[in-house]
């Protein structure tokens, strides 16, 4: 790491221990971005060096905010498969569609990329407890890695977090606090508790190191698709950390010479819970809205990382679309039946977004597209059953 800057004013900041925002801006969303000395990275992270490294996201050690750590680096995170899905391409109306199935991470979601880095940092700093607030996946992921590392986890979840995600937390032995309120309220309580008790704060938006973990998805796409780079990479968007991370990874691989161009990035938000899409169009975050979506993982009315998300999407000439719950339900069924991938609602939203972007003329019918499946369908069984219906009962 060569330093860190504020995403709003651009002034250098000192690298925080875990979470931190800019000391100069009075914008609560003035989050920090970690910088790397890519000149130095280029010397050791060569194509041939990478070829000899293990198939997990620790292969990008030079681009992670960690000291190499043998214990953490044995956790099997990332390097999830990229699957060609021709029948789903037909359904969405694009020329080629690949799915990167991040539901196959150890705790079943993309969040493992960030949590593994957060917990490894907590371990290296000697912190005894890590905390986070989450709509579900970041929570279960944080608890899972804390269990692997042998440190404590205190997790704040909103009232409506799906039961399977809560079950995962409890099985991983976390101290779970279900907050009688919204995600925003769970988030505030977590931040205050971290300050008061000196816990390691895993909240992705204001812990700049976590986005560096999310970045590894972009690094992997660049390596896995180097010979046939997609035109577009599609990601669903809640807080905005995932899309910012994926885009950062693609851009760093471009700067390092691994890929010749940066794919454009398409962000998908839920209809009515679309503050980042609105900010993309107007430059301003809208006032609090009250809509909700079945896709709990992207049900984020106050996104903490909107500056980073917008900067990255603009830098790669990307776009945003919105999809409603009916479109998400159709995409869950199509992704399962036409590609054999069981996606939770927020993950299927990316596939629904591909179809929507074709309808709006953003994607060309010949476009070569990669959609990131950010979470496994077993994460939210109730939604899956609501969408797919009941089985036929027959006599034995």
Ligand X SMILES: *Cc1c(COP(=O)(O)O)cnc(C)c1O
Which residues of this protein are in contact with ligand X, per CB under 6 A? Answer: 109-111, 137, 236-243, 297-298, 300, 344, 346-347, 374-375
Q: How many CA atoms lie within 13 A of 395 on its CB side?
A: 0
**Shortest Cβ distance from residue 12 to ligand X (Å)?**
25
Inter-helix orientation angle 381-388/325-339, to 10°: 90
Nearer to ligand X, 154 or 203 (CB): 203
Residue 20 or 162 with smaller CB distance to ligand X: 162
CB of 40 to ligand X, least distance (A): 28
Shortest separation between residue 175's beta carbon and ligand X, angstroms: 21
Q: Looking at beta carbons only, is 157 or 241 nearer to ligand X?
A: 241
Closer residue to ligand X (CB): 98 or 111:
111
d(CA 298, CA 353): 13
- For residue 96, the cross-strand partners are 368
Asked whether the beta carbons of 216 and 115 are under 8 A apart, the reply is: no
Write down the least CB distance from residue 67 to ligand X, Å.
25
By beta-carbon proximity to ligand X, the closer residue of 20 and 240 is: 240
**Residue 28 in 3-state DSSP?**
coil
- Helices 241-255 & 216-224 angle (0-180, nearest 10): 50
As a whole number of angstroms, the distance between CA 29 and CA 353 comes to: 26
Q: How far is the CB of 303 from ligand X (least distance, A)?
A: 7
Q: What is the DSSP string of 299-310?
A: --SS-TTHHHHH
DSSP strand pairing (200-201 vs 32-35)? unpaired
3-state secondary structure of 212: helix
Nearest approach in angstroms of CB 241 to ligand X is 3
Query: What does the alpha-carbon distance between residue 74 and residue 47 come to, in Å, rounded to a whole number?
Result: 21
Q: Which residue lies nearer to ligand X by CB, 85 or 270? A: 270
Nearest to 148, CA basis, from 125, 177, 174? 174
Q: Which two tokens stand for residue 134?
A: 């989450």
Closest CA to 199 of 151, 152, 144, 129: 129
What is the side-by-side order of every strand in the sheet holding 129-133? 175-179, 152-158, 129-133, 200-201
Question: Which C-beta is closer to ligand X: that of 45 or that of 215?
Answer: 215
* Three-class SS state of 361: coil
- Residue 183: CB minimum distance to ligand X, A: 10
Instruction: Please say whether the beta carbons of 266 and 353 come within 8 A.
Output: yes
Nearer to ligand X, 65 or 213 (CB): 213
Q: Which is nearer to ligand X, 56 or 134 (CB)?
A: 134
Find, among 245, 236, 268, 1, the residue nearest to 115 by Cα. Answer: 245
From the CB of 145, what's the least distance to ligand X, in Å?
15
The CB-of-38 to ligand X minimum distance in angstroms stands at 24
């Amino acid at each position: 790491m060569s330093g860190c800057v504020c995403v709003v004013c651009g002034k250098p900041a000192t690298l925080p221990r875990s979470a931190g925002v800019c000391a100069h801006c009075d914008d609560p969303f003035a989050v920090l971005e970690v910088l790397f000395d890519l000149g130095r990275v280029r010397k050791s992270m060569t194509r041939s060096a990478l070829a000899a490294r293990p198939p997990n996201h620790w292969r990008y050690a030079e681009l992670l905010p960690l000291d190499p750590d043998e214990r953490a680096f044995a956790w099997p995170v990332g390097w999830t498969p990229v699957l060609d899905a021709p029948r789903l391409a037909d359904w969405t109306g694009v020329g080629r569609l690949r799915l990167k199935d991040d539901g196959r991470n150890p705790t079943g979601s993309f969040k493992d990329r960030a949590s593994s880095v957060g917990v490894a940092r907590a371990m290296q700093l000697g912190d005894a407890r890590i905390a986070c607030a989450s709509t579900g996946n970041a929570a279960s992921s944080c608890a899972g890695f804390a269990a692997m590392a042998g440190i404590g986890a205190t997790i704040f979840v909103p009232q409506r977090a799906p039961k399977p995600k809560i079950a995962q937390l409890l099985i991983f032995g976390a101290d779970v606090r279900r907050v009688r309120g919204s995600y925003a309220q769970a988030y505030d309580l977590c931040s205050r508790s971290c300050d008061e008790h000196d816990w390691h704060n895993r909240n992705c938006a204001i812990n700049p190191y976590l986005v560096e973990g999310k970045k590894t998805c972009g690094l992997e796409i660049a390596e896995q698709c180097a010979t046939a780079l997609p035109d577009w990479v599609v990601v669903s968007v809640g807080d905005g950390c995932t899309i910012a991370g994926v885009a950062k990874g693609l851009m760093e691989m471009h700067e390092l010479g691994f890929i010749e161009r940066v794919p454009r990035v398409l962000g998908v938000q839920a209809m009515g819970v679309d503050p980042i899409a609105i900010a993309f169009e107007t430059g301003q975050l809208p006032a609090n809205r009250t809509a909700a979506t079945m896709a709990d993982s992207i049900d984020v009315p106050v996104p903490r990382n909107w500056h980073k998300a917008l900067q990255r999407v603009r830098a790669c000439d990307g776009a945003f679309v919105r999809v409603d719950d009916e479109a998400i339900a159709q995409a869950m069924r199509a992704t399962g039946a036409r590609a054999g991938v069981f996606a939770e609602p927020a993950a299927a939203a990316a596939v629904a977004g591909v179809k929507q972007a074709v309808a709006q003329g953003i994607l060309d019918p010949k476009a070569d597209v990669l959609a990131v499946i950010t979470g496994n369908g077993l994460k939210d069984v109730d939604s899956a059953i609501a969408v797919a219906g009941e089985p036929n009962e027959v006599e034995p």
